[in-house]
Structure 1
Amino acid sequence: MLSDAKAIPVIAVSDLDRARAFYEGKLGFSSTGPAPEGVIYGTASGPFLVYPSGFAGSNKATVISFQIDPAKFDAEAAALRSAGVEFATFDVPEGEWHDGVLEGGGNKSAWFTDPDGNFLNIESME
């Protein structure tokens, strides 16, 4: 059954060197090992793969969400901004935007894109 299998997020990029500069240089990830095509990065809950594809950036939905401890969210958002990451805002049915961060229901969330336009997200859950 697929529910028994390990699964990892995969993110398509058009230029692997440019993507590595973003994921490693701006977001602070380190490669956890070789992949047949692409790079595998580790997180607390498991790995994700960044790989070259002709379909890079065609998904306009969030491709990966990083769950941040609420006590560390503001520092993480500040670190991303310091690295040159710009947060995106858009129409939402609930919550209020404050300096690129959506706040509502005790939660904070921010979205940003990689160089191919893939949406990534950080969020805190209280």
Structure 2
Amino acid sequence: MNALNDKSSSAIVAVSDIDRARRFYSDILGLELNDEGMEGALVYKTGATYLVVYPSEFAGTNEANAVVWDCGPDIDAIVADLGAKGVTFERYEMEGVSYKDGVHDANGFKMVWFKDPDGNILHLNSA
């Protein structure tokens, strides 16, 4: 039996407008397009994994995190860059967590949430 624990995985995000998504994921987030094809899907390489963006009538209906990036100590610089490009950050109230300039801070563990143009929730953390 093959176990999934030694298999690669990818994040997949549904969007309603693939051209608008390409501009957001390529230009705003700065991801490099690795491949495109299968029914208009865009494939971005992000670290050791892939992010697949594909057209769907169900785009933006997920109310939970769609993708998370572990940014380590670069998180503040990444957030500043995204903010300069017009990204609006979400603010969530959580006990014991402070919030400043788009960043939630839980005793040094930093978390950031923002949405793509379809409302998919994207998450950054300092892990």
Normalised to the residue count of structure 1, the TM-score between the two structures is: 0.91
Aligned partner of 1:81 among 77, 80, 83: 83
CA distance in 2, matches of 1:9, 1:94: 30
Q: CA deviation at 1:122?
A: 1.1
Is the deviation greater in 51-60 or in 34-43? 34-43
Q: Secondary structure at the match of 2:96?
A: coil
Describe the superposition over 1:60-104 as per-residue Cα deviations: whole angstroms up to 9, x where unpaired: 11111111121x221111110111111110222331111221001
Q: CA RMSD in A?
A: 1.3
CA distance in 1, matches of 2:13, 2:49: 14
Q: Does the alignment pair 1:39 with 2:47?
A: no
User: Taking every aligned residue pair, what percent have the same amino acid on both sides?
Assistant: 39
Q: Output the amino acid matched with 1:57.
A: G
1:117 counterpart residue number: 119
Q: Output the amino acid matched with 2:30.
A: G
Number of residues of Structure 1 aligned to a counterpart in Structure 2: 124
Q: CA deviation at 1:105?
A: 2.4
Describe the superposition over 1:11-50 as per-residue Cα deviations: whole angstroms up to 9, x where unpaired: 0000000100100110011210123131000111211100
Q: Output the amino acid matched with 2:42.
A: V
1:64 counterpart residue number: 67
Contact 2:13–2:52 (CA under 8 A) maintained in structure 1: yes
Unpaired runs of 5+ residues, structure 2, are none
Unpaired runs of 5+ residues, structure 1, are none
CA distance in 1, matches of 2:84, 2:63: 25
